[in-house]
Chain A
């Protein structure tokens, strides 16, 4: 089956500067895809090319097999929510939501009825006659969402829509956006550089770096089976240790820091003996103890720093030349002090191999 939205070989250059380099991406109908990546990695540029505000230097974009080439933004039927909402200050919430329908020649009575329905869906009944400046940030956000959805767009694009909200409101809006997106089944691309947001909302995360896609996979795969060092580093916390494959068949590697290490073999890339690799172990997969734990692999280390977060703590220890980060539950950290000798323990399953 053909994908719903398809980007193939999309390139974008601003003068000499290559902002996007060979972007290929398939999105299924109804999917919620998040673009995640550091600042300047090309997320907005990709979105603007899809929306038709920028032209790709090369490459093609299709929706249901139909090329978008040569279509003006007005002709694309794509709903966009901008970071600062871009609500019309001279129009009320209702008039803002009515606007795209008005532009499509919908009669006022019918249009206003649809706008009211949409405002209700986003939880804003009773606010229809307020001007944007009379609404809170979260409410403005909802109006912007209603306005981008009211004309039943083929695609919904959201460029860091929650960037300006405080933490609690952010979380409430994440749930709200997800709920509405599911309810309407609209294919959605969501841009963020907040990884927890990406984790909690997406069907699939597309990790951008320097104008290329590093990995496109479901959130847990991106977390547990990153394909590149960049992804492993960018998403979540990680211990990355250099190693050499001893036996690809047995799943063994030699690590200067941890000694001989067995690694998880399922979901691993194809490896060969003697290959230089990096071992990824997430801090929460490591356990600290005074005495080595029987059932685990272990190594000794010296505690250097303890960072407390209340419910948990990050213990940064040193073994030889490497730093090892360990996430421990808040209750356990009481017995530890900086400078202590202790043991890190892990199971083979926690070790994931990354090709260099």
Chain B
């Protein structure tokens, strides 16, 4: 036993790589290779050249879809923040039991397949669903259709993505040293100024992490906007699917996918460069 351990220690540099190998191989085979194929298709289908990128970057339809995608992702992120921050705060400031109960509810929803949750929203918001019925009962003569609008898809995406935001913020809030708050109070900080000068900046890393996560996931969201959203306000992933399934435009779809990927990477890059808040407060 001792021999094995010292052997391992001796090859310290190799060992982590060995452990990583299966995953690395898996990723290479099933992620990088297909990704390469997509990149390849984007410049070869139907002809060799940058035609697809030209279309994606200059065509008004595509531009509108990209702008819409960004707008939706930003909207969903802000909504998640507005819902998530108070909830995380509540969890952190209530009794242990209640916090656990809330956590349980959130994780239960989180673990439910998002396809199931998407269909659940279809049932809830549909024309024969309880929401419309309620609206009609309280006096809307002709309740507006809620399903297949920006509202319904945003609502569902906020529901699906909020746990990411909540968990990120909650974990940061939980780690805040109570002595920091007490010392702020002893120095004369009350409610709003305490929040603005101390609590909010201390939770900023959680906000940044949660927001980037939600934003990036939202950029590539496919099922929910397709099933619940307005057909006239498509998001990028939906349009890509559309191109490939309906028009068999593999090249164009691939070019859009690559553009989306690059945009996502840029967001992540900016985040890690500018807002590496985790490290700043470390």
Judge whether B185 is part of the interface by a CB distance below 8 angstroms: yes
Asked whether B188 lies within 8 Å of A151 as measured between CB atoms, the reply is yes
Query: With an 8 A cutoff between CB atoms, is A317 at the interface?
Result: no
B-side contacts of A86, CB under 8 Å: 177, 179-180, 182-183
Which residues between 75 and 130 of chain A lie within 8 Å of chain B, taking CB atoms?
A: 76, 78-80, 82-84, 86, 88-90, 99-100, 102-104
Known: A100-B187, A104-B188. A73 touches B281 (CB 8 A): no
Interface of B is mostly: helix
A51 interface contact, C-beta 8 A:
yes
Q: Could you tell me how many residues of chain A have their Cβ less than 8 Å away from some Cβ of chain B?
A: 25
Query: When chains A and B are docked, how far (Å) is the Cα of A171 from the Cα of B192?
Result: 40
Q: Which of B176-227 contact A (CB under 8 A)?
A: 177, 179-180, 182-190, 193, 197-198, 201-202, 204
| Known contacts A82-B179, A86-B180, A102-B197: A51-B187 contact under CB 8 Å | no
Residue A53 at the chain B interface, CB threshold 8 Å: yes
- A74/B180 in contact, CB under 8 A: no
Is there an interface contact between A73 and B185, defined as CB atoms closer than 8 Å? yes
Asked if B202 and A90 sit within 8 Å, CB to CB, the answer is yes
Q: Which residue of B lies closest to A76 (CB)?
A: B186
The 0/1 profile, CB within 8 Å of B marked 1, for residues 142-160 of chain A is: 0000010001000000000
Cβ B187 vs Cβ A147 within 8 A: yes
B197 touches A82 (CB 8 A): no
Q: Is the CB of A89 within 8 A of B187?
A: no
A100 neighbours in B (Cβ, 8 Å): 187-188
Q: From residue 165 to 196 of chain A, which have CB atoms closer than 8 A to chain B?
A: none
| CB <8 Å contact, B190 and A99 | no
- In the bound assembly, the distance between CA atoms of A86 and B177 in angstroms comes to 8
Identify B180's interface contact among A73, A88, A133, CB under 8 A: A88
B160 to chain A, nearest CB (A): 31
B282 interfacial contact with A, CB 8 Å? yes
Q: What are 28 contact pairs spanning A and B, CB under 8 A? A: A51-B186, A72-B185, A73-B185, A73-B186, A74-B190, A76-B186, A78-B186, A79-B186, A80-B182, A80-B183, A80-B186, A82-B179, A83-B179, A84-B179, A86-B177, A88-B180, A88-B202, A89-B202, A90-B201, A90-B202, A90-B204, A90-B280, A90-B281, A99-B184, A99-B187, A100-B187, A103-B188, A151-B187
The 10 closest A-B pairs by CB, nearest first: A100-B187, A103-B188, A86-B183, A86-B179, A90-B201, A82-B179, A73-B185, A80-B186, A89-B281, A103-B189
